[in-house]
C-alpha cells in the first residue's frame, strides 16, 4: 500500500451538470514506466487527464505528486511542478516558428537590463536550445528552427510538441492520442520518441485508442470505464481483445490488479 508513485490521484470526482464525468476515479503512475490509459469514448479519460494536467479542477478527490498533495489551478501550475502535457490538438501556434512554440509561455529573456526592463527575448539562446532538444530526439530533419509550424508535416508537428514536453517535463509527460492523426511511418517515429523518454527515466502517461501501439510500448494499462478505473492490467498477461472487452463492459474486470 505504501508504494511511492510519481503521480497519483485518489477518488477524483468531476460533474458537468447532471453528467458525472469522473466517478471516484483513481490513478497511479510509477517511476520510469509507460502507463497507457484506454477507455471508450465518453469514459472520462480526457477529464481525468485534464485534472492531472491542471486544465480542469476536479470537484472532489486529491492529486499527489511524489507523495505530496498538489492543487493545480492552471496548466502553468502543473507545468511548473514538472508535469508536461502534449494535447491532442498539440497546443501549437501554427503561424509562429518552431523555436517560438517551444518556448511559448516561458521565453528566455536577455540577461541584465535588456531582459528585465525591456523584456527582450534571447532569440539566439532559444534557437540553440530548441535545436539541441530536437536533435536529441532525432528530429533534426527539420532544417530551419525559425520555420513556421504550419509548414511541417503532422508527424513533425507532433515531434515539436513532444520535444517541448521532453525539454521542460522534469517529472511526468502526458501524451493525449499522439498517433491518432498520423500515418504508419510517422506513428513509428512518435512511438520511438516515447520509448526515448522512458529511456531517459521520464514516466509517460499515454492516452490512446490504438491497441497495437498501446500493447507494444506500455508497461501497464489503466482501463477507464464509466468515469472510473475498472482495471489495471499488464499487457503481457492479457490480450488486446481482453482489454477491449473489459473497456466496453463485455468482460468482467480481473479481480487481482496487475503487479
Measured from the CB atom, the residue of 47 and 101 that comes closer to other proteins is 101
For position 31 contacting other proteins by CB under 8 A, the verdict is no
Taking a C-beta distance cutoff of 8 angstroms, is the pair 235, 218 a contact? yes
Q: How many residues bind other proteins (CB under 8 A)?
A: 30
Taking a C-beta distance cutoff of 8 angstroms, is the pair 216, 191 a contact? yes
Give dist(CA 91, CA 47) in Å, integer. 17
Least separation, in Å, of the C-beta of 111 and other proteins? 15
The sign of the dihedral angle between the CA atoms of 173, 186, 87, 127 is positive
**What mask of x and - would describe binding to other proteins in positions 103 to 142, judged by CB under 8 A?**
-xxxx-x--------xxxx-x-------------------
Least separation, in Å, of the C-beta of 96 and other proteins? 6
Least separation, in Å, of the C-beta of 168 and other proteins? 10
Give dist(CA 82, CA 171) in Å, integer. 5
Give dist(CA 30, CA 6) in Å, integer. 5
Residue 236 main-chain phi, psi, to 5 deg: -75, -25
Q: Which residue in 42, 67, 94, 183 binds other proteins (CB under 8 A)?
A: 94
Give dist(CA 253, CA 242) in Å, integer. 9
**What mask of x and - would describe binding to other proteins in positions 43 to 72, judged by CB under 8 A?**
------------x-----------------
Residue 252: HSE in the Cβ half-sphere, 13 Å Cα cutoff: 3
Taking a C-beta distance cutoff of 8 angstroms, is the pair 158, 90 a contact? yes
Measured from the CB atom, the residue of 94 and 249 that comes closer to other proteins is 94
For position 76 contacting other proteins by CB under 8 A, the verdict is yes
Q: Which residue in 19, 60, 62, 93 binds other proteins (CB under 8 A)?
A: 93
DSSP strand pairing (68-70 vs 60-65): antiparallel
Burial classification of residue 33, based on how many CB atoms lie within 10 Å of its CB (0-12 exposed, 13-18 middle, 19 or more buried): middle
The span of 14-22, 130-138, 150-158, 217-225 binding other proteins (CB under 8 A) equals: 150-158
Least separation, in Å, of the C-beta of 125 and other proteins? 13
Whole-number Cα distances in Å, 173 to 47, 108, 217: 17, 22, 15
The span of 10-18, 148-156, 208-216, 222-230 binding other proteins (CB under 8 A) equals: 148-156
Helix axes 154-168, 123-136, angle to 10 degrees: 110
Least separation, in Å, of the C-beta of 92 and other proteins? 6
For position 159 contacting other proteins by CB under 8 A, the verdict is no
For position 100 contacting other proteins by CB under 8 A, the verdict is yes
Residues of this chain that bind other proteins (CB under 8 A): 55, 75-76, 79, 85, 87, 89-96, 100-101, 104-107, 109, 118-121, 123, 148, 150-151, 153
Amino acid at each position: 500500500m505504501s508504494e511511492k508513485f510519481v503521480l497519483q490521484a485518489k477518488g477524483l470526482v468531476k460533474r458537468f451538470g447532471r453528467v458525472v464525468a469522473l466517478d471516484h476515479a483513481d490513478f497511479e503512475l510509477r517511476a520510469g514506466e509507460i502507463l497507457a490509459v484506454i477507455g471508450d469514448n465518453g469514459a472520462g479519460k480526457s477529464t481525468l487527464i485534464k485534472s492531472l494536467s491542471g486544465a480542469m479542477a476536479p470537484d472532489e478527490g486529491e492529486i499527489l505528486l511524489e507523495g505530496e498533495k498538489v492543487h493545480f489551478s492552471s496548466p502553468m501550475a502543473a507545468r511548473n511542478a514538472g508535469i508536461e502535457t502534449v494535447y491532442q490538438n498539440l497546443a501549437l501556434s501554427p503561424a509562429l516558428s518552431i523555436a517560438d512554440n517551444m518556448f511559448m509561455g516561458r521565453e528566455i529573456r536577455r540577461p541584465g537590463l535588456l531582459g528585465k526592463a525591456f523584456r527582450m527575448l534571447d532569440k539566439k539562446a532559444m534557437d540553440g536550445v530548441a535545436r539541441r532538444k530536437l536533435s536529441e530526439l532525432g528530429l533534426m530533419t527539420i532544417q530551419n528552427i525559425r520555420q513556421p509550424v504550419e509548414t511541417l508535416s503532422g508527424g513533425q508537428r507532433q515531434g515539436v510538441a513532444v520535444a517541448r514536453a521532453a525539454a521542460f517535463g522534469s517529472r511526468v509527460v502526458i501524451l493525449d492520442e499522439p498517433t491518432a492523426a498520423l500515418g504508419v511511418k510517422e506513428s513509428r517515429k512518435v512511438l520511438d520518441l516515447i520509448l526515448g523518454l522512458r529511456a531517459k527515466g521520464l514516466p509517460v502517461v499515454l492516452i490512446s485508442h490504438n491497441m497495437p501501439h498501446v500493447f507494444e510500448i506500455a508497461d501497464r494499462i489503466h482501463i477507464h470505464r464509466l468515469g472510473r478505473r475498472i482495471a489495471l492490467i499488464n499487457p503481457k498477461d492479457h490480450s488486446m481483445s481482453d482489454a477491449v472487452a473489459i473497456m466496453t463492459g463485455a468482460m468482467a474486470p480481473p479481480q487481482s490488479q496487475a503487479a
